[in-house]
Structure 1
Amino acid sequence: MAGIGFRLDRIAREDGLGGIANAAFHGAVVSSGPWLMTALAVFLLQGWTRSTMVAADHAIIQTSLVYAFGVSTVITAPLAMIATRMASDRFYLGERDAIPAILLAALVWATLASLIAGGLLFGLAGGMRPDLFLLATAILTLFSQIWIASPFLHATWRHRPIFLAYLCGIAMVALCLALVRPTAPAAVLAAIAAGLIVTLALLIAAIRDDFPNSPEWRPGWIGRTPGVLALGAAGLTNALAIWIDKWLLWWAPGSVQAVGALRVNPVNDQASFLGLLTMIPGLTLILVTTETRFDRAFAALMSHCMGTANRRRIEKARQKVGMTIRLDLRLLMVEQAILAGFCWVLAPEIIRLLDMNARGIFGFRLTAVGVVFHLVAIQMSIILSYYDLAGRIVAVWGSFLLASAAGTLLFRDSGFAGFGFGYLAGAVTAASLAVALVAEATGKLTYLLFVGNNPAVAGNSGLWARFWP
């Protein structure tokens, strides 16, 4: 599923400085498109709504976006994880015609879950007017569908249509706001929904260009994908780990009851979201460089195992996998640590330029530092997924979830000085555990490939198959 990563890697290696910049730019869009689109929308709307709307209407828009974006990631994470694994299995078997059906099934399930969540949040808890309720639910649903489509974009080889999709979506929102100049929250939400519709339609079109077959579902696909529940649990714990500290702080000092029973913490929400945006360069590096290099090293090891190589050559290939992991981990941490250092030093000026509350400096700084370790956990989780160790991925993100919740509750009553500490604690815990688990698995990788994780030996049945070999 990393086809576009290899394409961007080749552009970066063969086209000089311009190629590096081109690969980095498009890699950021592919790996973090929903984050970038939401960030631009939030910061553009922040100035717009404050100058043209009353505080209550501004709160409706802000709350709708915060809940739609956050809840959509949690809803779609397990579905996207399972769908991605099913699609990659079909790729390996040469069944490219199965991709449209897998994508369609995931979109349908995501839509159903989003409609239910929208009804509970914006209808029951928020008590919104019918028009606002429908628009907020539509935005949540569209975000969910974009999250589902995003992993399938990695399987394509054309990066420009993806950039065009997000650009057209943002342009649609800006055009609607410029032409209509709305002063009511319903009109602003409608403009956002229109932009998301344009983006989703173009993303689906880009995927369909590479996979033009008509969807044809085969019931046996689920049974042919081992460890479905483990994969879903890994995706769910991953998403919950990111948001648990923000949700707990919605009931901490400084939080407000924004719309009905829906609560937000404006200072922490903005600061933590801005801090999470520093993840984009690291995600781009993983997509373009580190994952592609590891893929090549791991593929070489697999070819030795399936061929006629002797034990010495297999061991040499395994050692090369370990060396690749170490080099890529060092590259990622150095790159992201430099960015975190800049953010720490320049935090007051960044907060001032974006017209954010100065009390968010603490949350922004700690989140930017936590992102360094969060990215380590992500990269190690990708490696564990190559090793087919879904249970260990659950352990990594479960530790993130528990440590983040504990740290947030510990500093919950400290006010803005404690913002971001829970996220940092969770990220450090997850990164430490992830590195240890990858090191242990890589050390006995030959055994795992031939015995411990070999379907012919350990079996390949059950929804929790090979949870922890």
Structure 2
Amino acid sequence: MAGIGFRLDRIARQDGLGGIANAAFHGAVVSSGPWLMTAFAMFLLQRWTRTTMPPDDHAVVQTSLVYAFGVSTVITAPLAMIATRVASDHFYLERRDAIPSILMAALVWATLASLIAGNLLFGFVGGMRPGLFLLATAVLTLFAQIWIASPFLHATWRHRPIFLAYLAGIAMTALALAVIRPSAPAAVLAAIAAGLLVTLVLLISAIRDDFPNSPEWRANWFGRTPGLLALGAAGLANALAIWIDKWLLWWAPGSVQAVGALRVNPVNDQASFLGLLTMIPGLTLILVTTETRFDRAFAALMGHCTGAANLRRIEKARRHVARTIRIDLRLLTVEQAILAGFCWVLAPEIIRLLDMNARGMFGFRLTAVGVVFHLVAIQMSIILSYYDLAGRIVAVWGSFLLASAIGTILLRDSGFASFGFGYLAGAVTAASLAIGLVAQATGRLTYLLFVGNNPAVVGNNGLWARFWP
């Protein structure tokens, strides 16, 4: 479902420098909207609440946002992965009328999971007052629903409504804070929830404009899609890999018990989140350029395989796919490495301008470097998903998760100088494994398409079907 990627790619190609800037800007919003909204909220509140709220109330707002954003990504990742695959299958079969039903079912399940998580986190563990507990749970739930809707935006063809949705949400929150000037954490959380609600409604409206059919509740919305457990495991491992080092550092030196039994590490949380924001240009490049270019090359290969081409032409198309992968990998790596280099050199000034703790410089630098390898793993995982090799995607993100956890645990007591090392170790491990798996699969892609991963040959039944062909 890369429809909007092709639209932005065409704008970049045909409209000169202005088109490139326009495509890059809207690509960043489409690919990283929730990150941008959270970044705005976190850094605005860092300045706002410190001057208008007592430290304890500031901790409530900050902790609620940290947990709501991080936990929402984890609980929705398996659902989003499965829903995206099911929707892609229907989209390929030209069953566009099924897309609204798939989206509705995924939103319902995400809401249920979010309510359970919110009760456990903010009610039981955090021990918040009823009003704060309900608002924090609402923020978590709205984040989760936005995460579910985000992949469906890639299937749309109009980028401006998506930008307006995020802009309206940010404006709603900023306006509420500026006009009401709240001094209580409940009012601040209510303003954030209002902004998220506006964004969610407008995003769903944008999707419904391209898929206007009325949704119907289907208990078996996932249909007969094979390998559902593998898809869900891949999504869960992907989300956990991003956050595992941050969560482990909540029990490291420098961490604090912020709200009830909920813990945070203020120095690392801010630094690592700032470092992760450097992923936005790379995600934009993947959406606008590399994925669309690979999609064209892979579609040409599939056309040869399903048509009347001989083996020589099929192999020529396969080599073109491999060449496209190498070119795109080099482009992504160079672009992101340049950005990481700037962040490394300018880290002291960036930390000072944002009024952050200077000890977070280490975590910011290592996270920015780790993002280079993280993006490589993302791009290789997209290619593996085109090849329908879910087991290998699980291996990539599972290796990220394990390496990050081990690296963080080994250096957890070393203090702030080790912040970000676990994430970097996990990203390097995942990128190395992902490149190897893609190279191996691309080299034998013709065999996989015709025999090794062909459902007609190896079967297509079961939740773990064709896990590792």
Is residue 461 of structure 2 the alignment partner of residue 461 of structure 1?
yes
Amino acid at match of 1:351: I
* Whole-angstrom CA distance in 2 between matches of 1:353 and 1:195: 26
User: Where does residue 168 of structure 1 map in the other structure?
Assistant: 168
Partner of 2:389: 389
**Partner deviation per Cα, 1:183-207 (whole Å, 9 max, x = no partner):** 0000000000000000000000000
Residue 244 (structure 1) aligns with: 244
**Native 8 Å contact 2:104 2:217 kept in 1:** no
2-side partners of 1:131 and 1:123: how far apart? 10
- What is the CA RMSD across the aligned residues, in angstroms? 0.6
Task: Report the counterpart of residue 295 of structure 2 in structure 1.
Answer: 295
Instruction: Extract unaligned runs of 5+ from structure 1.
Output: none
Q: In structure 1, what residue type is equivalent to 2:370?
A: G
SS at match of 2:309: coil
Equivalent AA in structure 1 for residue 197 of structure 2: I
Paired residues of 2:278 and 2:371 also in contact (CA < 8 A): yes
- The equivalences for 1:9-408 within 5 A come to 9-219=9-219, 221-408=221-408
How many Å separate the matches in 1 of 2:220 and 2:319? 37
Secondary structure at the counterpart of residue 415 of structure 2: helix
Could you tell me how far 1:296 is from its partner in structure 2? 0.1
Q: In 1, Cα distance between the equivalents of 2:423 and 2:209?
A: 40
- Structure 1 runs of 4+ aligned residues shifted over 3 Å read 217-221
Q: Aligned partners of 1:219 and 1:371: how far apart in 2?
A: 38
Tell me which amino acid in the other structure corresponds to 1:196.
Answer: L
Distance in 1, Cα, partners of 2:363 & 2:220: 47
TM-superposed CA distance for 1:74, in Å, is: 0.0
Q: Distance in 2 between matches of 1:194 and 1:208?
A: 21
CA distance in 2 between counterparts of 1:254 and 1:265 reads: 6
Give 1:7's aligned residue.
Answer: 7
Letter in 1 for 2:373: F
In the TM superposition, what are the counterparts of 1:409-420 in structure 2 within 5 Å?
A: 409-420=409-420
- Which blocks of at least 5 consecutive residues in structure 2 are unaligned? none
Return the letter of the residue paired with 2:348.
P
CA distance in 2, matches of 1:157, 1:277: 25
Give the secondary structure class of the aligned counterpart of 1:411.
helix
Distance between the aligned counterparts of 2:72 and 2:219, measured in 1?
A: 26
Whole-angstrom CA distance in 2 between matches of 1:377 and 1:302: 24
Alpha-carbon distance in structure 2 between the residues aligned to 1:87 and 1:162: 19
The C-alpha deviation readout for 1:334-376, integer Å capped at 9, x for no partner, is: 0000000000000000000000000000000000000000000
Residue identity opposite 1:315 in structure 2: E
Q: How many Å separate the matches in 2 of 1:99 and 1:217?
A: 12
C-alpha separation between the residues in 2 aligned to 1:125 and 1:158? Answer: 42
The residue type paired with residue 357 of structure 1 is N
Task: Tell me the SS of whatever aligns to 2:222.
Answer: helix
Quote the Cα distance in structure 1 between the aligned partners of 2:133 and 2:218: 36
- Change in 2 beyond 3 A, CA 1:220/1:188: closer
The DSSP-based 3-state class of the residue aligned with 2:225 is: coil
Amino acid at match of 1:401: L
When residues 307 and 219 of structure 1 are mapped into structure 2, their CA distance, relative to the original with a 3 A threshold, is: farther
1:216 CA drift (Å): 2.2
Q: CA deviation at 1:224?
A: 1.6
What is the CA distance between 1:39 and its match in structure 2? 0.1
Give me the whole-angstrom Cα distance separating, in 1, the residues matched to 2:21 and 2:352. 28
Q: Deviations over 1:280-337 (max 9, x none)?
A: 0000000000000000000000000000000000000000000000000000000000
1:218: Cα distance to partner?
4.4
1:121 alignment partner AA:
L
3-state DSSP of counterpart to 1:257: strand
What TM-score comes out, normalization by structure 2 length? 0.99
| TM-score, structure 1 as length reference | 0.99
Cα distance change on mapping 1:169 and 1:220 into 2, 3 Å? closer
Q: Deviations over 1:137-169 (max 9, x none)?
A: 000000000000000000000000000000000
